[in-house]
Amino acid sequence: MSGTDRINFLNIGLMLLSCIVALFIPFELFLFAYAVLGPAHYLTEISWLQKRQFFTRGEHDYWLLGGLAVLLFVSSPLSSQGFSQQEHTSTVATYTFLALGSALVLILVDRTLLRILGLAAVAAMAFVAVNSTGFLIALLALFVPTLVHVYVFTGFFIIYGALKERSRSGYLSFAVFLLCPVACWFIHPAKLMPSAYVTVSYFKNFALINMAMLGIDAPQTQGDLLNAARSVFESDTGLIVMRFIAFAYTYHYLNWFSKTSIIRWHQVGKQRMAVIGALWLASVTLYIYNYSLGFKVLFCLSFMHLYLEFPLNHISIIGTFKEVRSRFVRSAEPALAAAAGRKR
């Protein structure tokens, strides 16, 4: 068995483990993964990306993407509840669109003038986008930083690697990755109600994405708040949604750490690793002390790793379609030409 196959089968095991645990204790699993695995992922990935110039064409491009995360942190309220308000949701959508579009310009364009024109076009489109439809705002503010990032982009990484390596085990891991959410939908183990601490910690900081997926408007009254909480924590559909969220986040983090031997994020100097370790320990301690405070303090780091990863996300998506074209479209062209010739 090759090293690639071993890693793919390891990841299949991690997918199944994440899915099984998510079926029973989705809220607890998510809070644990977000607080413990999340900061370690942010810190080690930013360090790894820096060693590879963040996969952009310019030496200092990361200042733009990282700066957008800082500006978002400064311009947004230090309160998770505030993001349910329309103006703050629009702020997150604007900065996310700017980061996503700018990252595409930074990986495709070399010349300074063309870069300036491209970034100006992105800024103009961002202004139009956040003043268009509520769906687009929700997509950019709620789903791109969360489920698109941890599930869709992770899926592209998996299938891109499988296509490049021509790996059957890679294709199998991608199939399992797609089937795990199906399991979250159809398998209904006994409900295990979360504790009061888990309920408050999750609802206060993260429930907006659940409510969006369940089609629940932001609560305006105490009654609305109670009904929303019941839908998120007690309804069958709410549990299905939460199982998927918990699986997607947990495996996203585990996938990163499982590929240490390939991407070698750990190959940094002892001093840098010590700093990463100290920051991770401080982050986890903060979450243990007060989960909401940890969420607020690490908000900037979370979005910074998200925005700095956008260039790599674009590369994996573009690479996936190139691989599909080279393998399936071009290989089919001679057969189609021969068939057309026979018809003549």
Report d(CA 218, CA 141) in Å as an integer: 14
Report d(CA 124, CA 127) in Å as an integer: 5
- The per-residue pLDDT string of the chain (344 residues; one tens digit each, 9 = 90 and over) reads 678 899 999 999 999 999 999 999 999 999 999 999 999 999 999 999 999 999 999 889 999 999 999 999 988 765 444 334 445 788 899 999 999 999 999 999 999 999 999 999 999 998 887 777 778 888 999 999 999 999 999 999 999 999 998 889 999 999 999 999 999 999 988 778 899 999 999 999 999 999 999 998 878 888 888 999 999 999 999 999 999 999 999 999 999 999 887 888 888 888 999 999 999 999 999 999 999 999 999 999 999 999 999 999 999 999 999 998 887 666 555 554 555 555 55
Q: In total, how many domains does the chain have? A: 1
Which tokens in the block code for residue 175?
A: 């199939």
Residue from 316, 32, 269 nearest 154 by CA: 316
Q: How many C-beta atoms lie closer than 10 Å to residue 12's C-beta?
A: 17
Residue from 12, 23, 19, 320 nearest 153 by CA: 320
Task: Give me the torsion for CA of 289, 92, 33, 170, rounded to 10°.
Answer: -160
Phi, psi (degrees; rounded to nearest 5) at 265: -65, -20
Report d(CA 17, CA 320) in Å as an integer: 27
User: What is the pLDDT, as a whole number, of residue 339?
Assistant: 54
Report d(CA 89, CA 76) in Å as an integer: 9
C-beta separation of 225 from 219 below 8 A: yes
Residues sharing a CB contact under 8 Å with residue 246, sequence separation 6 or more, in sequence order: 18, 21, 22, 26, 27, 29, 30, 33
From residue 1, alpha-carbon distances to 7, 16, 169 in Å are 10, 21, 10
Phi, psi (degrees; rounded to nearest 5) at 85: -80, 145
User: What is the pLDDT, as a whole number, of residue 80?
Assistant: 44
C-beta separation of 214 from 232 below 8 A: yes
Could you say which DSSP state residue 269 is in? Answer: -
Half-sphere exposure (CA, 13 Å, Cβ side) for 218?
Answer: 14
User: What is the pLDDT, as a whole number, of residue 34?
Assistant: 97
| HEC letters along 180-201 | HHHHHHHCCCCCCCCCHHHHHH
Q: The domain containing residue 77 runs over which residues?
A: 3-343
Report d(CA 39, CA 25) in Å as an integer: 21
Half-sphere exposure (CA, 13 Å, Cβ side) for 88?
Answer: 15
C-beta separation of 140 from 130 below 8 A: yes
